[in-house]
Amino acid sequence: MRLLQLQTDNLTGPDVSDWQTFLKGRGLLSDAADGVFGPNTDAATRAYQTSGGLEPDGVVGQNTLSKAVNDGYQSTTRANLAGMDASTDCSPFADQLSGQGMRFVARYYSSNARKTLTAAEAQKLSTAGVGIVAVFEDTNNSADFFSAEIGSSQAAIALELAAAIGQPAGSAIYFAVDYDAAPADAQGPVTAYFTAINTALAAAATQYAIGVYGSGMTCRVVRDASLAKFTWLTCSTGFREYAAFRSQADIVQLAPERVILGGLNIDDDIAQSSEFGAFRLPQGPT
């Protein structure tokens, strides 16, 4: 979603209408949802931000949109599904997550067992009706941690963990590039890493889609090389091509980190596409 705000030439369009409809539903706007972002829409936006403890700047940016999605905002032009990512076991909170507006949870595959999604956790989230996004990440935060050899090794670990929880075919495994890769990195070792991942996953008994998490530039380079079907944009707004890629990403991670339900540290995410590789495990007979 583009930034919505009051400006000299009023913004117009269906995204403005969707935002106005949301404000009207909360009793903050009495005007018609005419698709024109005028002074009354600006005032209603600021009132919504104030009521939610946000900076009342009148700009419908990532923080305002994240809260609005959790409050029931719906788009007619994009999916805008609320979700989150966490590096700890979400099982104790699974039954409460939907009440927090969470439609999906991104959880890790990793060599680090402490942050790895387990079959029990995946089953509990699925039973609670929460989708799961699988993402592989070890230390992948510099060019030194990317190569064809590392890609093959990490793909093998990801496939083993996916099999252990019964991740269904056709869903996605994202692989993280957790730093602001330079162009030479993205086109060199990062591309070699994803090429090896594609080779490994293509030969696997269960077929999964591939996703990439990283900067706008990293997501663009990997996607445009046909090495990933899905893209997940990091919350680091200063990383390369963040603004240019934001509207193209299947998932956008939002800042800052926060604590919900009295003890679960999360990052908020918004899925901008209706299909982004999430899954739920099949439920047995009751």
CB contact at 8 A, 174 and 212? yes
Domains detected in the chain? 14-70 (1.10.101.10), 81-271 (3.20.20.80)
Element containing residue 264 per DSSP (H, E): strand 264-271
CB contact set of 8 (below 8 Å; sequence gap of 6+):
none
pTM, 2 dp? 0.83
Residue 175 bridge partners (DSSP):
136, 212
Task: Give the pLDDT score at 101.
Answer: 81
**Per-residue tens of pLDDT for the chain, all 286 residues:** 678 999 999 999 888 999 999 999 999 999 999 999 999 999 999 999 999 999 999 999 878 988 898 888 888 877 788 899 999 999 999 999 988 889 999 999 999 999 999 999 999 999 999 999 999 999 999 999 999 999 999 999 999 999 999 999 999 999 999 999 999 999 999 999 999 999 999 999 999 999 999 999 999 999 999 999 999 999 999 999 998 998 899 999 987 888 999 999 999 999 989 899 999 999 865 4
CB contact at 8 A, 254 and 269? yes
Could you tell me which of 42, 112, 122 has the C-alpha nearest to residue 282?
Answer: 122
For residues 201 and 83, what is the distance between their CA atoms, to the nearest angstrom?
A: 26
For residues 77 and 153, what is the distance between their CA atoms, to the nearest angstrom?
A: 39
Task: Give the pLDDT score at 70.
Answer: 83
Task: Give the pLDDT score at 286.
Answer: 44
